[in-house]
């Protein structure tokens, strides 16, 4: 957490920035370059990534930044708070401000959120928890407001969006941005997936179109086949009847243009025309086509059709899926390993008691997010949690991190088990005698017996300094002094920035300096090698900090399934733990290996890779 400004300085700065004079100019021409984007600016943004130019634009214009570990986290979900802060910056810069807000308080987004409310970007009652991941619909609502409507003139004719009914929540904002070319949707039909989370990379692309009209997209949406039309042999909206693409009697057998055949031997290089894919989990991978989601098995056969509004990676033999409800929102259910669908009888979505889920079963239970979070088992039985919000998922070593503070400025965290019993109660600022002492102001999920916590020092009830560290299952602090949240423990080590320098940390609390390195990747759960950055290039060290693979790659990901995804010369491939190429760098995109299988994309098609 950043060091606090003095209250007086921060107040003066906010007044100066947020209140431009009436004579000031306003307009999109005020979005000018503020920062210099250097090669390798973010260790996880490859120059060949589809979102790279958008990330560069947002960074140069001062609208988005990265993290203290030199990452941008393009695949990470963007939160409501982050969306609102970006929207506040857009609103302020457009009206001659600098787009700079004091973010040193707790919570860090307090001042820009208040600015957004006062500027009518949002209202004070729109969202109950700003730390939750934003849905695509919520993002559209937030990003539709910072610019006047005159700056969002229609360049597309969009009368209907397949999964956004006119008059539904946030539909006006979604249609406005579609027509302006800021949003394009997925597939030729323009599916929007309004309840799905949105990544930081996707958000960067949308923001770059919002403030740079030359980046906006002109398009014509293709018509959607009416599933109730008796002349159409399939009903793609029925999640209870998964398509078997290998059954020659199935009317949905892939004969349409662009639909690949699936041979028995996946090593033959079958090309799949999916819009997106995720890494395999328990032998299945989430795939998307034409705005819908489903599952493919590692042998290349489809477990389901791509008919779902959202799908999550398999866990404990189940893949959680969402189906669109005619009344709005989504029905929650899961797919088993045979492809059979089970409804949980629970609805989620904006305006409903449950607004989302982490999509991962843990010890037979699935987390339901919302103003009154709960757990649901695979029979549909719901168990309420005594909490204001859930700060970490149910998969954290069987413990759930909740915030029980109803009104205070700082959280009151505790870890509970799946029965609701408090296992560990963390020190809270509200319990400090005279407002003096140390309390936990941020925390994360337990993983391998350790949880990251940010410990703040208070004086007079105010936070004066803080640093990140780890606690064990007894609540004992194992190590502290990290300047940002460290990566979780794997194989007995964690990584992070200690006093601003990358280090390895052991479970005993000792640290190993990584001399000459500027950044370090998260440790791998199944490899002794850890990625580091030295001289702008990526290499790997072992758990003692000794170099094993010399820095030579433009970017790299942690080892997974015995291989690490790396890029060189704008192309991606996989190396083994000896540094030898397992798959040559010929791919535009890749997905990490798991269980012997990964993905590579080349020439616009995805290929299953077997190792």
Closest of 475, 473, 470, 367 to residue 420, by C-alpha: 367
What is the distance between the alpha carbons of residues 531 and 559, in angstroms, rounded to a whole number? 8
What is the distance between the alpha carbons of residues 429 and 408, in angstroms, rounded to a whole number? 9
The answer for residues whose C-beta is within 8 angstroms of residue 199's C-beta and 6 or more apart is 74, 75, 76, 77, 78
What does the DSSP assignment read for 454-517?
Answer: EEEEEETTEEEEEEEEEEETT--EEEEEESSPPPPPBTTEEEEEETTEEEEEETTS-EEE-TT-
**Are the CB atoms for 237 and 227 separated by under 8 Å?**
yes
Q: Measured on CA atoms in the order 280, 281, 284, 285, is the torsion positive or negative?
A: negative
Give percent above pLDDT 90 in the chain.
44
Structure tokens at 445: 């999920």
Look up residue 191 and give its DSSP letter.
B
Structure tokens at 539: 């290499």
Read off the pLDDT band of 513 (50, 70, 90): very high
Closest of 502, 505, 559 to residue 530, by C-alpha: 559
User: What value does the mean pLDDT take over residues 92-97?
Assistant: 86
pLDDT digits (tens, 9 = 90+) for 61-81: 999 998 877 889 888 889 999
Answer whether residue 23 shows pLDDT above 80.
no
pLDDT digits (tens, 9 = 90+) for 127-156: 988 988 899 999 999 999 999 888 999 999
Beta bridge partners of 413: 403
When the pLDDT of each residue in the chain is averaged and rounded to a whole number, the result is 83
Phi, psi at residue 431, to the nearest 5°? -100, 0
pTM across the whole model:
0.59
Distance of CA 160 to the CA centre of its chain: 28
How many beta carbons lie within 10 A of that of residue 593, not counting itself?
25
pLDDT of residue 344: 96
How many beta carbons lie within 10 A of that of residue 260, not counting itself?
15
């Amino acid at each position: 957490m950043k060091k606090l400004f003095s209250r007086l300085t921060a107040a003066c700065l906010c007044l100066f920035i947020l209140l431009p004079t009436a004579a000031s100019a306003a307009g999109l021409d005020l979005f000018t370059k503020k920062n210099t984007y250097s090669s390798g600016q973010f260790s996880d943004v490859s120059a060949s990534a589809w979102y790279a130019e958008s990330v560069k634009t947002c960074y140069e214009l001062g609208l988005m930044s990265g993290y203290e570990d030199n990452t941008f986290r393009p695949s990470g979900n963007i939160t409501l708070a982050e969306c609102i802060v970006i929207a506040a910056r857009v609103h302020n810069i457009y009206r001659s401000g600098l787009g700079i807000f004091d973010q040193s308080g707790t919570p860090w987004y307090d001042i820009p959120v208040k600015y957004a409310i006062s500027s009518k970007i949002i209202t004070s009652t729109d969202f109950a928890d700003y730390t939750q991941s934003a849905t695509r619909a919520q993002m559209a609502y937030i990003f539709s407001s910072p610019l006047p409507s005159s700056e969002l003139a229609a360049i597309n004719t969009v009368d209907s969006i397949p999964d956004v009914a006119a008059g539904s929540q946030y539909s006006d904002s979604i249609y406005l941005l579609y027509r302006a070319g800021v949003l394009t949707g997925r597939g030729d039909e323009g599916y929007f997936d309004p309840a799905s989370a949105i990544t930081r990379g996707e958000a960067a692309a949308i923001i770059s179109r919002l403030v740079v009209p030359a980046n906006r997209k002109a398009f014509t949406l293709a018509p959607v086949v009416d599933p109730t039309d008796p002349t159409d042999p399939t009903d793609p909206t029925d999640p209870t009847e998964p398509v078997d693409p290998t059954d020659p009697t199935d009317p949905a057998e892939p004969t349409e243009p662009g639909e690949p055949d699936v041979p028995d031997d996946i090593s033959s290089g079958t090309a799949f025309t999916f819009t997106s894919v995720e890494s395999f989990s328990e032998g299945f991978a989430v795939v998307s086509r034409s705005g819908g989601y489903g599952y493919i098995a590692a042998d290349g056969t489809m477990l389901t059709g791509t008919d779902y509004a959202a799908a999550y990676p398999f866990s404990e033999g189940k893949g959680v899926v969402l189906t669109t409800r005619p009344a709005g929102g989504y029905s929650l259910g899961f797919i088993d390993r045979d492809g059979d669908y089970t409804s949980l009888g629970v609805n989620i979505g904006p305006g409903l008691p449950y607004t989302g889920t982490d999509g991962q079963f843990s010890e037979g239970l699935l987390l339901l997010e919302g103003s009154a979070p709960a757990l649901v088992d695979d029979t549909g039985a719901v168990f309420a949690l005594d909490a204001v919000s859930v700060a970490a998922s149910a998969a954290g070593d069987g413990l759930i991190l909740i915030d029980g503070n109803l009104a205070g400025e700082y959280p009151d965290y505790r870890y509970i088990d799946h029965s609701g019993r408090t296992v560990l109660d963390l020190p809270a600022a509200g319990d400090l005698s005279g407002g003096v002492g140390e309390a936990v102001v941020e925390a994360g999920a337990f993983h391998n017996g350790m949880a990251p916590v940010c410990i703040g020092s208070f004086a007079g009830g105010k936070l004066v300094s803080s640093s990140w560290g780890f606690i064990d299952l007894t609540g004992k602090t194992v190590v502290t002094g990290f300047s940002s949240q460290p990566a979780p423990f794997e194989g007995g080590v964690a990584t992070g920035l200690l006093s601003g320098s990358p280090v390895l940390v052991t479970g005993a609390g000792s640290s190993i300096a990584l001399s000459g390195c500027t950044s370090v990747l998260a440790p791998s759960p199944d490899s002794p090698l850890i990625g580091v950055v030295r001289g702008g290039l990526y290499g790997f060290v072992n758990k003692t900090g000794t170099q094993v693979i010399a820095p030579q790659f433009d970017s790299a990901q942690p080892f997974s399934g015995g291989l690490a995804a790396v890029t060189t010369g704008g192309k991606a491939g996989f190396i083994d733990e000896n540094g030898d190429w397992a798959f040559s760098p010929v791919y535009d995109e890749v997905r990490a290996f798991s269980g012997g299988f990964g993905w590579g994309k080349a020439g616009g098609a995805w290929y299953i890779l077997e190792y």
